[in-house]
Amino acid sequence: MADWRNKLEMICNKVKNQLFAKGVDSLEQCKGIFLEHDKDQSGNLNKLEFGAFISQLGVFLATQELRTVYDFFDHNKDGQVTYAEFVDKLKTDMSAQRLQIVKHAWEKVAAGADSCTFESLVALYNAPQHPRVTAREKQAETVFNDFITVLGAKASNGAISCDAFVQYYTEVNAVVPNERENYFVDMIVKTWGLDSDKCAVSPARLAELQDCIFEKVRQRTHGAEDEGRTVKKIFKHFDRDGLGTIEPAEFRKALETLGCTFKDFELDAVFRCQDKNGNGRLDYEEFAAMFAIRGSGNNPNVNPTFGSDREPPLQILAKIRDTLKARGTHGIRGLGHVFRRMDNNGDKKFDRNEFQWGLRENGHKLSPSEFERVFKYFDKNNDGCVSFNEFLRGVRGEMNAGRCALVKLAFAKLDKDGSGIVDLVDLANIYDVSFHPKF
């Protein structure tokens, strides 16, 4: 059960894959398939109808799995899944690349204005170049009619605003699987006649941009400092939440501080190149480490170990501790139980997915950027795994010298024969709970 709760995102993407394979290009088209299974025409699906609907899409679940997925889509917990509830769970934020290309298309069709007429959009839309049409999966007329029907519903007094345009493609995005990034970009480039050279940055140009950024960083690096620390100092200034990551807008401002005045689509390309997991946030610790290592080649006195000396994510560790404290005696013990159950080979190491599922199952609600920050900090040797013992020590925290000395003194008093072992019965007989401050 718990594992399936953690796999819900994967299930949603599988639903998108099946809808995509059926030629569904908008949430409006999805509605017809959904309502086919609404036998009593109530506008929603009960658990049996929902199971048949999911099965038709090619997603086959066991009874327990179906219950978890059904509860996920049943947002108001009334025992029914409405179409609105279903599509709401499919809607996710567009990736940085998809959002960039949508905004680039708007800049062309609206010439920078906040709105434009619906007729002008219809005149510019090139349905015959849609990937579904060029692949002979659909007729151009069908694609065109779907476009004017769905987008036309968002018109106000014959005009389409920028927000309505983005909303239209947000709904298209909801039925395009995560791994179909190129399809989404190609669809917009072809149907709006965009200049693909301005939408994509060649590897050679990308390398040139990174060279330029490095040179700007090098000019700001003085004395015994290295380029990595210069980058980190600048980026950290724009990291408002202190999580060790920055968003595209913050990245752009940081580079402007360095004097890098590139075109927006070029800046976005550099950002996407460094956004390794595609979550729309850049781990500037890694970005800075890359520059430190590169800079060490020009300065033999610099030891490129920048990436290993990472600052602990104190705010996130405090959040984890708060959750453990709220669970009382079941906090640390429960966390240990979860991870031991998942440790099939007994090496006490967990990859990214196992570590994330273990934390979620124990009740820790971390944002994607918070999880990445914790995982990368405890993945000391960058092998893609976290040692549970190291993580546990990090969460518990190290005792200061004074406290450590007191504990050792107490143990020495109990260890009367100097064997280094204290009998549990003797310990229970000596420990006096009446002196505990909370008592």
In sequence order, the 6+-apart residues with CB closer than 8 A to the CB of 188 are 101, 102, 105, 169, 194
In contact, 366 and 359? CB cutoff 8 Å:
yes
Q: In this structure, is residue 282 part of a structural domain? A: yes
**84 plus 174 within the same structural domain:** no
Q: How confident is the model at residue 202, as a pLDDT?
A: 63
Per-residue pLDDT, 349: 84
Domain of 52, in residue numbers: 2-90
CATH number of the domain encompassing residue 59:
1.10.238.10
> What span, in angstroms and rounded, lies between the C-alpha atoms of 408 and 421?
13
Is residue 389 located within the same domain as residue 330?
Answer: yes
Q: What is the pTM of this model?
A: 0.47
In a domain, 401, yes or no: no
Q: Is there a domain that residue 415 lies in?
A: yes
CA distance 248 to 372: 17
For residue 130, being part of any structural domain is answered with yes
Burial of 344 from C-beta contacts in 10 A (0-12 / 13-18 / 19+): exposed
Both tokens of residue 398? 């190290």
Domain endpoint, select from 46, 74, 90: 90
Look up residue 310 and give its DSSP letter.
Answer: P
Residue 105 placed within a domain? yes
Question: Is residue 260 located within the same domain as residue 340?
Answer: no
Whether 425 and 348 share a structural domain: no
Residue-level length of the chain: 439
Helices 368-378 + 314-326 axis angle, to 10: 100
The rounded distance, in Å, linking the Cα atoms of 390 and 154 is 53
CA–CA distances in Å: residue 420 to residues 361, 403, 410, 414: 37, 19, 12, 10
Phi, psi of 386 (to 5 degrees): -120, 130
Residues 25 and 84 in one domain: yes
Per-residue pLDDT, 197: 53
DSSP track, 236-266 = HHH-TT-SSEE-HHHHHHHHHHHT----HHH
Q: How far apart are CA 115 and CA 110, in angstroms?
A: 7
Q: Residues 224, 173: one domain?
A: no
Helix (H) or strand (E) holding 193: none
pLDDT in tens, the chain (439 residues): 445 455 677 777 777 888 888 888 887 777 877 888 888 888 888 888 888 888 877 777 777 778 888 888 888 888 888 888 887 877 777 777 788 788 888 988 888 788 999 999 999 999 999 999 998 999 999 999 999 999 999 999 999 999 999 999 998 998 888 878 778 888 998 999 887 655 666 667 778 888 888 888 888 887 656 788 888 888 888 887 777 788 888 888 888 888 887 877 778 778 877 776 656 677 777 778 777 777 665 444 444 444 434 566 778 888 888 888 887 766 777 777 877 877 777 788 888 788 888 888 778 888 877 777 788 778 766 567 888 888 887 777 655 556 666 677 777 777 777 777 777 776 777 777 777 776 6
Q: Are residues 219 and 283 in the same domain?
A: yes
Closest CA to 214 of 257, 251, 260: 260
How would you class 413 by CB atoms within 10 Å of its CB: exposed for 0-12, middle for 13-18, buried for 19 or more? exposed
For residue 191, the model assigns a pLDDT of 94
Q: Which two tokens stand for residue 37?
A: 């299974």
d(CA 3, CA 11): 12
- Is there a domain that residue 343 lies in? yes
Choose the final residue of a domain: 274, 308, 342: 308
Q: How far apart are CA 216 and CA 218, in angstroms?
A: 5
Query: Residue 139 has what pLDDT?
Result: 94
- pLDDT for 277 equals 61
Are 296 and 321 contained in the same domain?
no
Q: Which helix (H) or strand (E) holds 329?
A: none
Say if residue 172 is in the same domain as residue 261: no
Residue 211: per-residue pLDDT: 85
Residues 195 and 211 in one domain: no
CB 4 within 8 A of CB 67: no
Q: How many domains does the chain have?
A: 5
| DSSP H or E stretch at residue 364 | none
Is residue 26 a part of any domain in this protein?
Answer: yes
Task: Give the pair of three-digit tokens for residue 191.
Answer: 């149907």
- Contact indicator for 246, 281 with CB cutoff of 8 Å: yes
Claim to verify: residue 244 and residue 293 sit in the same structural domain: yes
User: Among 199, 233, 268, where does a domain finish?
Assistant: 199
Q: Is residue 403 part of a domain?
A: no
Residue 131, amino acid = P
Looking at residue 296, what is its pLDDT?
A: 60
Burial pattern 106-129, b for ≥16 Cβ within 10 A else e, equals beebbeeeebbebeebeeebebeb
Q: Tell whether 190 and 212 lie within a shared domain.
A: no
pLDDT at 303: 47
